[in-house]
Structure 1
Amino acid sequence: MADVQLNGEQITDWESFHTVCAEAFGFPAFYGRTIDAWIDCLSYLRDDENMTRFHLKADEVLQIVVTHSAALQKNAPDLLEEVAFCVEGINDRYNDYGEKPALSLKLA
């Protein structure tokens, strides 16, 4: 299983979330820094679109590990809730295309 770490202490709002994610996931330079752009980039983990630095095999899952998640829950609880909702939605999108879920979210 591939994993990517997001430091919850560095995320205090949506702007910092997108900064941390752009670096951690290796999003392209044209990444739009919105939750819709985040969803779009993570919807191509098994394609050759180069939307992230990750390229998953058909049965592989990318685990998003949020370290210092207590700090994130304190500073931006709505953001963390939205991210969890989006991970579920992205996995539903993979399922709709007959693929296995591609993401898991772990709070550490």
Structure 2
Amino acid sequence: MSIPVVKIDTDGITDWDSFHDTFARVLEFPDYYGRNMNAWIDCVSDRDAAFVLQLDNAKSFRSRCPEIYTAVIECSAFSNWRDVESGGEPVVFLAFAD
């Protein structure tokens, strides 16, 4: 089974607004997306199938936006934990590319 890869070019992410803009566009979050990490977790968990979230230019993203970089990792893990705790399967798998 092949898991689709969703690539996020992190070069355009410089703050929380640009983070939410980028992820909402690429992951096609619904119009009611709340633009916070709780809403991000909900939207990721609501996806129908597992996917690899590939963060391109990850090293510069981590240096430029360490709080946001860490939030993506922690919230991805939380989303997967919540899915497993409710009897489901993990949905998001992270990959880092530079």
Does TM-score exceed 0.5, indicating one fold?
yes
Aligned-residue identity in percent: 31
Q: Which stretches in structure 1 are left out of the alignment for 5+ residues?
A: 47-55
User: How many Å apart are 1:2 and its aligned residue?
Assistant: 1.4
| Residue of structure 2 in register with 1:34 after alignment | 36
Return the alpha-carbon distance in structure 2 between the equivalents of residues 83 and 24 of structure 1. Answer: 15
Secondary structure of the residue aligned to 1:73 is helix
User: How many Å apart are 1:3 and its aligned residue?
Assistant: 1.7
Q: Is the 8 A contact 1:8 1:70 kept in 2?
A: no
User: Structure 1 runs of 4+ off > 3 angstroms?
Assistant: none
User: How many Å apart are 1:66 and its aligned residue?
Assistant: 0.5
| Residue of structure 2 in register with 1:105 after alignment | 94
User: How many Å apart are 1:98 and its aligned residue?
Assistant: 1.4
Return the alpha-carbon distance in structure 2 between the equivalents of residues 24 and 87 of structure 1. Answer: 16
TM-score (norm 2): 0.91
Q: Which stretches in structure 2 are left out of the alignment for 5+ residues?
A: none
Q: How many residues align?
A: 95
User: How many Å apart are 1:70 and its aligned residue?
Assistant: 1.4
Secondary structure of the residue aligned to 1:105 is strand
One-letter amino acid of the structure 2 residue matched with residue 71 of structure 1: S
Q: Is the 8 A contact 1:67 1:107 kept in 2?
A: yes
1:19-98 aligned at under 5 Å gives the runs 19-46=21-48, 56=49, 61-98=50-87
TM-score (norm 1): 0.83
Return the alpha-carbon distance in structure 2 between the equivalents of residues 75 and 96 of structure 1. Answer: 33
Superposition RMSD in Å: 1.0
